[in-house]
Amino acid sequence: MADIITPGDDEDLQTQIEEVEALSSIYGDEWCVIDEASRIFCIKISADLEEPKLTACLQIILPPDYPSAAPPIYQINAVWLRGPERAKLANSLEDIYVEHAGESILYLWVEKVRDFLVEKSQNSETVEEPEKVNMTAEKDVDDDEDIPDLSSLRLNTENVHLFLEQANDEELPPIKHGNPITDRRSTFQPHLAPVVTPRQVKMVLEKLYENKKIASATHNIYAYRIYCEDKHSFLQDCEDDGETAAGGRLLHLLQILDVRNVMVVVSRWFGGILLGPDRFKHINNCARNILVEEGYTASTIWLV
């Protein structure tokens, strides 16, 4: 049976089409259509068009009720964008949406990211992409494990409104720190917190980054799953923090274990020796261990 299209849906779709056409005209080759039917787009943004040393890729998914009732879903891919800086930029984009709720905001978002790049470029003229000092740059993903398809993470667009329905008086959830795993001088340590709103996810990240040791980690990979009772579906997301594919794998683990209302962060301090595919096993084993310790799953099988 065909989906029922309401007048509001039709208006939103027409607004989206007009906005995408305008952005394509403005940005030319920088604007890319990934999946028009699923309303997935991306744009490569740089601080300097003539000498694009500092760049970011903004990937956008337009929910059916954008712009009338929901914000775009987005992901910023930039190896240099980490921790506090990522949170600062995310807050700026959220502020733009709140200020212009019900309006088309993609142009404002793109230019805000560009302004952020320009400011960072001016404040740190020596920045190069990627940052070799603090990145493991382990690009080999040639093990036999399948990399989770991140498109599966974008099925819960109807829950995005929860990012705006957050009370300022929410309490910081208790954060647990698990036992570290060390292999060839690289150390992995998990952190876990119960979360029921995206606001709490942000609060947990901000609290963790107050710890200088955690803030100095080479990567802080995280994933979370929040079960929405009224929708009977999950709000979930993940972050690689420079460790390509690690966030997706971590979320895939949470899905396999069918845990809910929990966030897991795995900090990695790189020891100078590339671990290859073993790094993914350590990240997931750390996560599994703390989930077992905190009673989220009874499984104690070690990933090999």
For residues 189 and 187, what is the distance between their CA atoms, to the nearest angstrom?
7
Domains of the chain: 6-120 (3.10.110.10), 174-292 (3.30.230.30)
pLDDT of residue 142: 42
pLDDT of residue 222: 95
For residues 205 and 200, what is the distance between their CA atoms, to the nearest angstrom?
9
pLDDT of residue 124: 66
For residues 111 and 93, what is the distance between their CA atoms, to the nearest angstrom?
10
pLDDT of residue 232: 79
Smallest CA-to-CA distance from 76 within 88, 68, 67, 64 is with: 88
Single-letter code of the amino acid located at 132 = K
pLDDT of residue 118: 87
Bridge partners of 42, per DSSP, are: 32, 59
119 φ/ψ angles, rounded to the nearest 5 degrees: -60, -45
For residues 111 and 99, what is the distance between their CA atoms, to the nearest angstrom?
15
181-183/186-194 β-pairing: antiparallel
Tens of pLDDT, residue by residue, the chain (304 residues)? 433 334 446 888 999 999 998 888 888 888 888 888 888 888 888 876 555 567 888 888 898 989 998 888 888 877 777 778 888 888 889 889 888 888 999 999 999 998 988 888 877 654 444 443 344 546 544 443 433 343 333 333 344 444 444 444 578 899 999 999 999 999 999 999 999 888 899 999 999 999 999 998 999 999 999 988 777 788 889 999 988 889 999 999 998 888 999 999 999 999 888 998 899 999 999 999 999 999 988 654 444 4
Smallest CA-to-CA distance from 284 within 256, 195, 202 is with: 256
What residues contact residue 250 under an 8 Å CB cut-off, 6+ apart? Answer: 221, 222, 223, 238, 264, 266, 283, 284, 287
- Report which DSSP code applies to 158: G
193 φ/ψ angles, rounded to the nearest 5 degrees: -145, 140
